[in-house]
Structure 1
Amino acid sequence: MDTPQISAPSRAPSRVPRRVTAFGVIHVNAIHTTRFTIVGNHLAQHRQLSLTAIGLAVHIQSLPEGAKADIKTLADRFPESEARIAAALRELEAHSYLARTLVRIPGGRLVTRTVSYNHPEAAGSAQAAPSAPPPPEPRPAPAAPAAPATEPPPPPPPAPDPEPATVPPAEAEPSPAPAPSPTPKPPRPPLPQPLAPDPERQRIATDLLAGLRRDEPRLLLGERDVRRLAPAVAAWLEREATPDAVRRALTADLPHPLKQPAGLLAHRLTALLPPQLPDLPAPDVLHPLHDCTGTCKRVIRAPEPGLCRDCRAEARSRRGDALAA
């Protein structure tokens, strides 16, 4: 036997010789033996996918079979938000790197079945290619004249059917609960309006709104807001609310910070509108004092001079006696 060459290397070096460039990317590649995933350049250098979608596709391809890849699990794993991860998954679906379908499992619950494709074009061509027809069954050989010492050879065994392409088991994910539809906000009630126009009351309301910034600097209103809110203040004044009472109602307990002073004043003028005051009862009329014009000369209260009650009764009785006679 020949003498072994001890100085010869046992195997080829793992590092690939590289050419040092003055600019650009410099690769230092080492051969992976454990924990690696093969990713094609069609994904790593995709022209239309975002960087988030490319990184998410690489992560999903590196997951073991049966691992969860729903939006909530991915959002807990990475710093991106659920909305950004959902958009990246839609990108991968649009470019056939991912397929998600709703299926019903035993028990009636709907789950999302996710299939990841590391090479969508190859998977698509394999699915589009027609399956090979099964080999024809061997026909029996024509009967030959019987020979005493020989027998016809047995027919060849049928060729096995081609194995169907195996699809990786789909991952069952719980379907996300449908987001509740937002409740529409009720329309804002209209601002109160005075029953009867009054220029003087309108002027007082305008001056009151424009001067609120003297009591509270945060209540600085624009001229347009003053004109819009003045009829509501006039409605308060029409209901016998004093200007000081209106000013206290509008400036008390202001929130901090105050972002929309005009909106706050419009809400208070509408929600805190005082009711109409009830009508006061008519006061009792005090008639002046007069002397009875009859024989008694008694002092009575009456709208005008005349007979007292007793003299009127006596005069009625005399008229009755005269008519009877």
Structure 2
Amino acid sequence: MDTQQNTALTRALAEVPGPLPTSGVIHIAIPHTDRFTIVGNHLAQHPDLSCTAVGIAVRIQSLPQGVEVGIKALAARCREGEKRVAAALRELEAFGYLQRIRDRLPSGRVITRTVFCNQPTALALMRSGPAAPQHPATPAPHPAPAQAPTPAPAQAPAPAPTPPPEPDMPALPPVPPPPLLAAHQAPRFVPLVPPPTAPKPPPAPLPQPDEPTPELDRAATALLSDLRRHTAEFTLSETDIRHLVPGVAAWLERATHPDTVRRTLTTDLPQPLRHPAKLLKHRLTALLPPPLPGAHDLTAPARPRITVTPFQTCDDCDRAFRSPTPGHCRDCREHREHREHRSEDARTAA
């Protein structure tokens, strides 16, 4: 039996102008009459945006104003999860398509407004100077080429800012991208928000025993091989077991009971468990207990001895003062020094 052919597709291919390519995509362009969104090739063919970010941008651009476009709202509308949606929004922010602006309402409440711009490069050119209004007016396509020579040369700047009539836009066929974008290839994408540059830290290495012994290696191998008896998801290969043996040996070296190691590795598992060896490596590294303290570490530290200076009685005035040795108090010492100094001065004068 021959394969059935789609007659409508065959008829549409016959109406494609020019010879069909021998390889690659063949476009059948049917003009939209309702429910369509115009997307520029600068977004659809962006060299640095991921396909997820481009799809999220098209979804946001197709929504009417006032629709919630937060991470949770988009994740509920799309099949991507919240993490992929958040990463796509960060990409769009980095290249200026999306901006989040904090605004204060008359009531005093502060809200966050999400602004999406379909042409961030044109927006940046409008901000750059007074010559900017000349650029956005040129890319606007006219419905018919016969309308171009109608205005007089002296009145050419007047119809430039006038967009095409709104009711005629749905009936227009798809038009190629305007040549002005190709003329301004230098400032193609103006990132208004700097992209996140913080690199992810490298994963921690698997712990190793301080003094590996054959007994530790044998006990760690047996514990890992026995995990499948308790949890079927942990049916590990010999390669995974040899790779994880040093981590289990480090736990056993720190006087951790095998039942405690097994319970820590197999409790509260994620569902579904796709990479059991990676989960075991993470838990052996992140949950490694400290070594048991020794007997000398558990003893209370000795209190420092405080040396108390004893009291002494002054030999001249019988006043009590603190000093390690008997003698005179401070006042008596100063008085004696002053008296000796005056006696020396008298002898010098004589």
TM over 0.5, shorter chain: no
Determine which structure has the larger helix proportion and give its number.
2
Normalising to structure 2: TM-score of the pair? 0.39
- Greater Rg, structure 1 or structure 2? 1
